Structure 1
């Protein structure tokens, strides 16, 4: 179930041309400075946590005990920020520096309220935070909640 959800999100995000690298988060941005094994801009997809509850039995299924899961999907959205957005910077430079916000909005437009799999409910954005880094990579984590049944 979780694999299908992650693959579905990857397929949806692949329709956003501005994102050059989309993958499951296995630590690509951790401890690889200054050369992470990615292209930029990127989106990394991970399951933040899932909480399971029992909903009964289906003797025709394996396993027979059925569960419902609710939890989070965390998207790490990052880009190399090689130029600044100061008030006196040239406008093309500022436009390029602000591009991560366009990507975040494009992702939100594709995922918010969308069911990514037949037994998964709609993804709903619940949080966003900036990740402090010291390597020139601008990174934000956007969290979506999701529910899945009969897992």
Structure 2
């Protein structure tokens, strides 16, 4: 189930042509500074937390013990910020500097309210957090909740 969800989200985000790299987050941003193994801008996907509750037994299925689940999907959006967004910067430079916000909106439009598999509920955005870095990569983590039935 987890693999199907991650693959479905990866395929969905791959439809955003502005993202040059979309993959499962396997640590591409960890200890690779200044050259992480990604292209920019990127989207990284991870199923960061799942909680299960038992709902009974269905002896026609394997495993017979059935569960519902709620989980957290984290989508990390990042880009190299090589231009500033100062009020006195040239407009083209400012547009490039603000590009990550457009990416965040594109990702949100693709994922919020969408069902990645037939056993999954809709992805619902629950949070957004900036990651402070010292290598020029602008990074934001957007979290979505998801419900799964009869797994």
Fold in common (TM above 0.5): yes
- Structure 2 distance, partners of 1:58, 1:102, is 46
Deviations 1:11-43 (A, max 9, x none): 111110000000000000110000000000000
DSSP 3-state at the match of 1:105: helix
Q: How does 1:44-83 map to 2 (within 5 A)?
A: 44-83=44-83
Partner residue in 1 for 2:92: 92
Deviation at 1:57, TM superposition (A): 1.1
The question of 1:43 aligning with 2:43 is answered yes
Where does the alignment leave 5 or more consecutive residues of structure 2 unmatched? none
DSSP 3-state at the match of 1:138: strand
Deviation at 1:85, TM superposition (A): 0.3
- Structure 2 distance, partners of 1:31, 1:94, is 30
- Structure 2 distance, partners of 1:33, 1:42, is 15
Where does the alignment leave 5 or more consecutive residues of structure 1 unmatched? none
Deviation at 1:149, TM superposition (A): 1.0
Question: What RMSD in Å do the two structures reach over aligned CA positions?
Answer: 0.5
Partner residue in 2 for 1:24: 24
Partner residue in 1 for 2:114: 114
Moved over 3 A (4+): none
DSSP 3-state at the match of 1:62: coil
How many residues were matched structurally? 151
Deviations 1:100-139 (A, max 9, x none): 1011000100110111100000000000000000000000
Q: What TM-score, normalized by structure 1, do the two folds share? A: 0.99
Partner residue in 2 for 1:127: 127
Deviation at 1:71, TM superposition (A): 1.4
Deviation at 1:150, TM superposition (A): 1.4
Deviations 1:88-109 (A, max 9, x none): 1111011011111011000100
Q: What TM-score, normalized by structure 2, do the two folds share? A: 0.99
